[in-house]
């Protein structure tokens, strides 16, 4: 296991407050249809829960993530599985995997063409690429409200601080085809997602949208969180539960 850097991801918080990420990914494994003995790359493995499910299915799985904190946590939990720290745009593999599987990660990659070229290269001929990630309109209510609060406080918010790439289905499948994939299946769908506890919204913002709050004082961040909760309560707080307005893309492509 090669740990190359420290980072800002809180792996413990991810496991305790945001376990829904891996839970929703279990459905994607059905699309993957892993076969015993296959060599599969879990791209953006987080803390390893889905890699462990693939391992139990008899797959030879390798998990990689750009976060050393996540990889360290995955290795602690599942020391019998191979994990490594790598960047999705510069994978070190060529014609090595029967499948590349990725859940809730590719929206963090702002150079999607490089990632798709790297994934294509990592696959054996005939190998498959199965992924789910945030698509066009994902968490738009939440992020629009945070940006509104930032602008209201004249915080000099820069659009470059927006950490995600949320493509349309047409945009992403076109990029897949440019990389050489034959796109077999593609979906763009709503998935309202419950956030754990009465602080679910603020926990989500602090975990996933921290770059949007970069450089602000703790007092200013607290004001933004409080005002965002108030501004979104009527739309996203239902029966005592915060619901994130997720919109997901799911794709299956073949390397021909």
Asked, for residue 95, whether it belongs to a domain, the answer is yes
Asked, for residue 219, whether it belongs to a domain, the answer is no
What is the rounded average pLDDT for all residues in the chain?
Answer: 91
Strand order in the sheet with 39-43: 82-85, 60-65, 39-43, 97-103, 123-134, 247-255, 181-190
Over the stretch 177-234, which tens digit does the pLDDT of each residue have? Answer: 999 999 999 999 999 999 988 999 999 999 899 999 988 999 999 999 999 999 999 9
Over range 50-57, report the average pLDDT: 95
Asked, for residue 208, whether it belongs to a domain, the answer is no
Asked, for residue 234, whether it belongs to a domain, the answer is no
| CA 69 – CA 125 distance, rounded (Å) | 33
Structural domains in the chain (count): 1
Asked, for residue 218, whether it belongs to a domain, the answer is no
Identify whether the C-beta of residue 49 lies closer than 8 Å to the C-beta of residue 43: no
| Helix 49-56 × helix 68-77 angle, to 10° | 40
Identify whether the C-beta of residue 7 lies closer than 8 Å to the C-beta of residue 67: yes
Asked, for residue 202, whether it belongs to a domain, the answer is no
Asked, for residue 79, whether it belongs to a domain, the answer is yes
User: Domain containing 51: what range?
Assistant: 11-138+164-196+244-255
Q: Which residues contact 55 (CB under 8 A, 6 or more apart)?
A: 61, 78, 80, 81
CA atoms within 13 Å, Cβ hemisphere of 201? 28
pTM (2 d.p.): 0.89
| CA 214 – CA 26 distance, rounded (Å) | 33
Asked, for residue 238, whether it belongs to a domain, the answer is no
For residue 66, the domain's CATH number is: 3.40.50.150
């Amino acid at each position: 296991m090669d740990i190359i850097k420290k980072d800002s991801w809180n792996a413990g918080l991810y496991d305790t407050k945001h376990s829904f990420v891996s839970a929703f990914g279990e459905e994607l494994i059905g699309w993957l249809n892993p076969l015993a003995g296959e060599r599969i790359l879990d791209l953006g493995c987080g803390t390893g829960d889905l890699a462990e499910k693939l391992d139990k299915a008899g797959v030879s799985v390798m998990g990689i993530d750009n976060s050393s904190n996540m990889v360290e946590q995955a290795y602690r939990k599942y020391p019998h599985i191979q994990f490594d720290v790598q960047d999705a745009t510069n994978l070190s593999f060529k014609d090595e995997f029967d499948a590349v599987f990725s859940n809730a990660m590719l929206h963090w990659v702002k150079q999607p063409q490089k990632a798709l070229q790297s994934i294509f290269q990592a696959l054996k001929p005939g190998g498959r690429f199965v992924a789910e990630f945030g698509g066009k309109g994902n968490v738009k209510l939440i992020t629009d409200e945070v940006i509104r609060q930032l602008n209201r406080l004249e915080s000099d918010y820069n659009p470059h601080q927006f950490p995600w790439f949320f493509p349309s289905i047409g945009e992403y499948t076109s990029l897949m085809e440019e990389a050489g994939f034959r796109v077999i299946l593609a979906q763009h769908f709503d998935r309202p997602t419950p956030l754990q506890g009465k602080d679910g919204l603020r926990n989500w913002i602090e975990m996933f949208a921290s770059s949007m709050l970069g450089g602000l004082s703790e007092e200013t961040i607290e004001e933004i969180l409080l005002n965002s909760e108030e501004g979104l309560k009527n739309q996203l707080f239902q029966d005592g539960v915060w619901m994130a307005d997720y919109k997901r893309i799911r794709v299956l492509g073949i390397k021909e």
